[in-house]
Amino acid sequence: MAFTRREGVRALLWLSPWLVGIAIFFVYPLASTVYFSFYRYDLFTLEFIGLDNWRYAFSDPRLLQSGLNTLWLVVFMVPAQVLFALGVAQLLTKIKSGSGILRTLFYLPSLVPTVAGTVAFVYLLNPATGPVNQALSWIGITGPDWFGSAAWAKPSLTLLALWGAGNTVMIFLAALLDVPKHLYEAAAIDGAGAWRQFRNITLPVISPVLMFSAVTGVIYAVQYFTQAMIASRVASGATDSAGTSFTPGYPDGSLLTLPQHLFQTGFRDWSMGLACVYALILFAVSMVFTLVLLRQFSRAEATS
Amino acid sequence: MRRRRGLVWIAQHAIAIALSLMFLGPVVFIVLTALMTDEQALTSRLWPDQWNWGNFAEVIARSELLTWTANTFMYASLATIFMLASSIPAAYALSRFRFRGSKVAFLVVISAMMLPPQVVAVPIYLVWARLGLTDSLWPLILPMLFGDAFSIFLLRQFLITIPRDYTDAARVDGCSDLRILFTIILPMARPAIAAVALFSFFYCWNDYYGPLLYAGVDQEGWTLSLGLATFKAFHSVQWNLTMAATLLVTAPVIVVFLFAQKVFIEGVTLTGVKG
C-alpha cells in the first residue's frame, strides 16, 4: 500500500500540468458558463436577469431549427458514413491486385483541408456550371440545386462527408483484417454463405470498433461547424470580415447547426449570456453520447 | 461454381473502379478548373481551352497567401511542440503508475476530448480578452502547454501495450522516472508520437473555428483556412482562381502525406483501438 501511495504522489507530479489545464480550460469555464447564463453580458455591461435567457432560448425558433438540423446529421449523415466506410473497407479486403493504390486513393480526400474540400464541393455541385450537374444532364437528368436549396443542402454535405470517409475506411479495414481467418474457414466448411459469415463472424468481432466510430461520429456531428459555415458562406457569396453581416445557415437556415448558432449569438451579436445557455444545451446533448462512450470504455478496461 | 466466382470478381472490381472515380473525380475537376481562363470558368466547358498556369501566380500576387501560410505554419508547429512536451508526461503517468483515481483521470481525458469546443468558448474568450491576446493566434497555441486530451488518449492507448516488466526491471535497477521515459518509453513509442504530432499539426493546419474566433479582422494575422473561406467572396465569380487557391492550400498536406504515409496509416489505425 505504501508503494501505491508513493506512486500516487509521483503520478500527481507528472499529471500536474494537465490537471492545471483541466482546471483552467474545462472546470472553470464550465462553471462560469452556468453563471453567465443568468446574466445579460455584451463585453461592457453585466446585468443579472434571472431566467430570461433561458426563457428566450426556448422560444427561439432558430434554436429549434438548429437542433433539428443537428439531429438530421446524427440520424442520416453518421449512419451513411459508417455504412459506406464499412462497405468500402469490406471491398478492399476482397481485392488482391492494386489494393495499395486503392487504399491511398480512398484515404487521400480525408486529408484535404476542411475548408478547401468544402469550397471545392460547392463548386463541383454548383447548379449552373458545376461538373456534376453537367454530367447528370448528359444522361438526361436535371440536377438539383444542391447547396442552393434547403432540401438538398444537407444531402450535399453528406456527399462531402462520404468523400472524406477515408479515415474510417482505414480503421474498419484494420479491424476486418484482424478477424481470425480460421473462423471463416470453419464457417465455410459448415456451409455458411458470404452473408451469414459476415453477420455471424465479421460483425460480432468488429462491433466494438463499429460502436466506437459510430459514437465518435455522433459527437463530431454534434460539433459540426466548419463545413456547414463554409458551404453557406460560399454558396450565398457572403463575406464575413469587418462589419459585414453574414447569417449562417443559408439557404433558409437549412445548414444552421447548434454550434454555429451559439457562435453567432455569442461572438457576432455579442449576446454572451444567451450564448452560454446555448452552450449548456450543447453540453447536455454531447454529454449523453459521451456517457455512452464512457460506459463502453469502462467495460473494455474491466475485461482487459 | 467457378463461373459464379468469376462474376463476383468482376462485380467487385467494377465497384472498386466506380468508387475510385468517385473519390478521384472531384480532384480532376478542381485541377482542370484551376487551369482555366477567367472567361472559360464561367462557361460549362469542362476541358480547358488553353492551360492558364499563371492562375497560381495570380492567386499568390493578389492575396496574402504567403503571409497566411507563414501564420498557419507558426500556429501548427508551435502548438504541436507544446502539445508533445505537455501530453507525453501525462500519458506516461496514466499508463505506468498504479494509483487511486487513475481510472477517473482517464475518464476525464475522454470527457475533455469529447467536449465541443464551443461549450466553454465564452468564458475562455473573456480570459484571453482580459489578457489582451485576442486578435492573435496565441489563445490557440498557449493552451497546448497544458496537454491535449486527444493526444494524451492516443499516447496512453499505445503506452499501455508496452509490457510493465521493462519499466519495472529498470526501476529495480534504480532508474528515475525521467530516465525510464527517455531511454525506454520514448524510443518504443516513436510511431505513436509521430502519429499524434502529425494529427496535431494537421488539425491546426485545417482549423477554421479557432482562428475565426481569435485571429481578428486584419488579414495579416489570418491563417490559410480563414483566407480561403473568404477568397471566393473577394474574387466573386472567379471559380478558376478559387480552385487554384484551394489546390495551393491542399498541396503541402498531400506532399507531407506521400512522405509519411506509413506513420499516417498506423496512427489512424491506433485511433480505432477501443481500449
ipTM metric:
0.88
A248 cis-preceded (ω within 30 degrees of 0)? no
Q: Closest-CA residue in chain B for A11?
A: B93
pLDDT by residue for chain A (304 residues), tens only, comes to 345 567 888 888 999 999 999 999 999 999 999 999 999 998 888 999 989 999 999 999 999 999 999 999 999 999 999 999 999 999 999 887 778 888 888 988 988 899 999 988 998 898 877 888 888 888 888 888 899 888 999 999 999 999 999 989 998 998 999 888 888 888 888 888 888 888 888 988 888 888 888 888 998 899 999 999 999 888 887 654 444 567 788 888 999 999 999 999 999 999 999 999 999 999 999 898 888 878 877 777 666 5
pLDDT in the model for residue B130: 93
CB contacts, 8 Å: B41 with chain A = 129
Three-state SS string over B59-93 comes to HHHHCCHHHHHHHHHHHHHHHHHHHHHHHHHHHHH
Catalogue all structural domains in chain B, each as residue range(s) with its CATH number: 2-56 (no CATH), 65-271 (1.10.3720.10)
Least Cα distance to A39 among A271, A272, A262, A273 occurs for A273
Q: Would an 8 Å CB–CB cutoff place A170 in contact with chain B? A: yes
* CB atoms B110 and A290 under 8 Å: yes
CB contacts, 8 Å: B182 with chain A = none
CB contacts, 8 Å: B177 with chain A = 10, 14
* CB atoms A238 and B233 under 8 Å: yes
CB-count burial class (<10 Å; 0-12, 13-18, 19+) for B104:
exposed
Of B97, B233, B246, the CB nearest to A116: B246
CB A24 within 8 A of CB A31: no
Mean pLDDT of B195-210: 92
β-strand A46-48 against A39-41: which pairing, if any?
antiparallel
Cα–Cα distance measured from residue A100 to residue A86, given in angstroms and rounded to the nearest whole number: 17
pLDDT digits (tens, 9 = 90+) for B20-73: 888 888 888 888 888 888 777 777 777 888 888 888 888 888 888 999 999 999
pLDDT in the model for residue B233: 63
Cα–Cα distance measured from residue A134 to residue A89, given in angstroms and rounded to the nearest whole number: 30
pLDDT in the model for residue B210: 95
CA distance B103 to chain A (A): 9
CB-count burial class (<10 Å; 0-12, 13-18, 19+) for A205:
middle
pLDDT digits (tens, 9 = 90+) for B215-237: 988 989 999 999 998 877 666 66
Report CA dihedral (A229, A230, A235, A236) to the nearest 10 degrees.
Answer: 50
Whether residue A76 lies inside any domain: the answer is: yes
* CB atoms A104 and B119 under 8 Å: no
pLDDT in the model for residue A43: 84
Whether residue A36 lies inside any domain: the answer is: no
| Poorest-pLDDT segment among A272-276, B135-139, B171-175, B190-194 | B171-175
* CB atoms B15 and A91 under 8 Å: yes
Report CA dihedral (A199, A204, A209, A214) to the nearest 10 degrees.
Answer: 60
Distance, C-alpha B175 to centroid of its chain: 36
Q: Which band of pLDDT confidence, cut at 50, 70 and 90, is reported for residue B83? A: very high
Give the cell for residue B220: 495579416
Cα–Cα distance measured from residue B220 to residue B218, given in angstroms and rounded to the nearest whole number: 5
Give the cell for residue B79: 502548438
* CB atoms B93 and A211 under 8 Å: no
Whether residue A55 lies inside any domain: the answer is: no
Q: Would an 8 Å CB–CB cutoff place A38 in contact with chain B? A: no
pLDDT in the model for residue A238: 60
Whether residue A129 lies inside any domain: the answer is: yes
Number of domains in chain A: 1
Cα–Cα distance measured from residue A274 to residue A286, given in angstroms and rounded to the nearest whole number: 19
Whether residue A112 lies inside any domain: the answer is: yes
Domain that holds residue A175: 61-304
CB contacts, 8 Å: A20 with chain B = 146
Cα–Cα distance measured from residue A297 to residue A289, given in angstroms and rounded to the nearest whole number: 13
Amino acid (one-letter) located at B272: G
Whether residue A236 lies inside any domain: the answer is: yes
Buried b (16+ CB within 10 A) or exposed e, B123-152: bbbbbbeeeeebeebbbbbebbbbbbbbbb
CA distance B74 to chain A (A): 17
Contacts 24+ apart (CB under 8 A), A70-76: A70/A221, A70/A222, A70/A224, A70/A257, A70/A258, A70/A285, A72/A154, A73/A154, A73/A157, A73/A221, A73/A224, A73/A257, A74/A218, A74/A221, A74/A222, A76/A154, A76/A158
Give the cell for residue B244: 487554384
* CB atoms A286 and B119 under 8 Å: yes
Q: Would an 8 Å CB–CB cutoff place A142 in contact with chain B? A: no
**Is pLDDT at B106 greater than 60 in this prediction?**
yes
DSSP, collapsed to helix, strand or coil, labels residue A40 as: strand
pLDDT in the model for residue A1: 39
* CB atoms A113 and B15 under 8 Å: no
Of B41, B111, B229, the CB nearest to A290: B111
Number of Cβ pairs < 8 A linking chain A and chain B: 287
CB contacts, 8 Å: A114 with chain B = 206, 208, 225
Whether residue A18 lies inside any domain: the answer is: no
Q: Would an 8 Å CB–CB cutoff place A27 in contact with chain B? A: no
Give me the sign of the Cα torsion angle A72, A76, A78, A79.
positive
| Poorest-pLDDT segment among B36-50, B95-109, B196-210 | B36-50
CB B265 within 8 A of CB A294: no
Q: Closest-CA residue in chain A for B273?
A: A209
pLDDT in the model for residue A243: 41
Give me the sign of the Cα torsion angle A89, A95, A99, A105.
negative
Q: Which band of pLDDT confidence, cut at 50, 70 and 90, is reported for residue B136? A: very high
Bridge partner residues of A54 (DSSP): none
CB contacts, 8 Å: B116 with chain A = 219, 222-223, 259, 282-283, 286
What's the CATH number where A65 sits? 1.10.3720.10
Give the number of residues written for chain A: 304
pLDDT in the model for residue B53: 84
Q: Would an 8 Å CB–CB cutoff place A181 in contact with chain B? A: no
Amino acid (one-letter) located at B137: L
